[in-house]
Homo-oligomer: A and B are copies of this chain.
């Protein structure tokens, strides 16, 4: 197989620290499994708060990154001096723009965030069934609430009107819903292999091994809510083996807290998916363990991008305190994804996942630094 090339963008705050551990693990895996894998580092910190830079990343960043098979991102967001009252309330949008630029530029139309409460991860819910949380939240990542259309009329005056347009296409709706059903099937197959079966009821009383729950706010945001519902209904007929369900986004958030173990695959719009994935992340242990994948499953020339769900945590940056676990789970996901180009990478990804999970299960109660955790996981890989 051709050598697979990864662009490593450490980003801001704790990004470089956790990415450092990811690279060490990649080195260990490459040596052990003889992987045809190489990477290039792009140390592009955000300078949103410095006067000499208006933009965060070089103008040709996307051009440079497009040549790679995947992008491994640390964290973005440089809020500047957080204790400066003048700046405290200023918008944090500038240093995050590369994230949205990559999603758009590489048409990474799926944002996939698995949420499984692994042994050792913090359990926020009182009910012990929370241990069975195992869902995959799939967020539409290319349009919807995030099209950046709108503006401010009579800006700064008492008569100001601010608008924001939401745009949803049937094409993007169909593809994200179909992707959800495919993932549900794949998860069912994996579970059956591991003898961890589950059971979901269909509306006509049958039971299925997997489920897709569509989330909308169709009782208030009717136009796209109805379109999503119609697409969901039609596509679901092609998957009689997958149970279907619908929740309104407010009820979905409530049920995520009340009975998250009842969900399997969840499909939601860009903004609602953003909210649901953060909620799913905390229910499965918090930002310290949550991976995030921005995928383009259809165009092999477009790199997919992998980042932990957490931010740049400027308050603890540079101190060796950040937990690299989420970054390493993310790296494992990236390798599994790249398995479509080279099966050895899928195996390496599984090995990394298992090493991180084992480390989490054994050491969750100990206070450890970034490098200590990374080294322990590398040692497991060797």
Binding site for B on A (CB under 8 A): 83, 85, 88-93, 96, 100, 123-127, 145-146, 148, 150-152, 155-171, 174, 203-204, 217-227, 229-230, 232-233, 244, 246, 248-251, 253-254, 257-258, 271, 274-275, 277-279, 281-283, 286-287
Contacts and interface: CB of A to CB of B under 8 A. Distances in A.
A83 B166 contact: no
Contacts of A155: 227
A170 to B, nearest CB: 4
A289 to B, nearest CB: 13
A222 B126 contact: no
A217 to B, nearest CB: 7
Number of copies: 2
Contacts of A90: 229
A253 to B, nearest CB: 5
A150 B150 CA distance: 13
Contacts of A162: 167-170, 223-224, 226-227
A223 B91 contact: no
A135 to B, nearest CB: 15
Contact of A165 (B152, B165, B169, B271): B165
A268 to B, nearest CB: 12
A83 B92 CA distance: 47
A168 to B, nearest CB: 5
A92 B219 contact: yes
A156 B286 contact: no
Most-contacted residue by chain B among A124, A251, A286 (CB, 10 A): A124
A247 B167 CA distance: 25
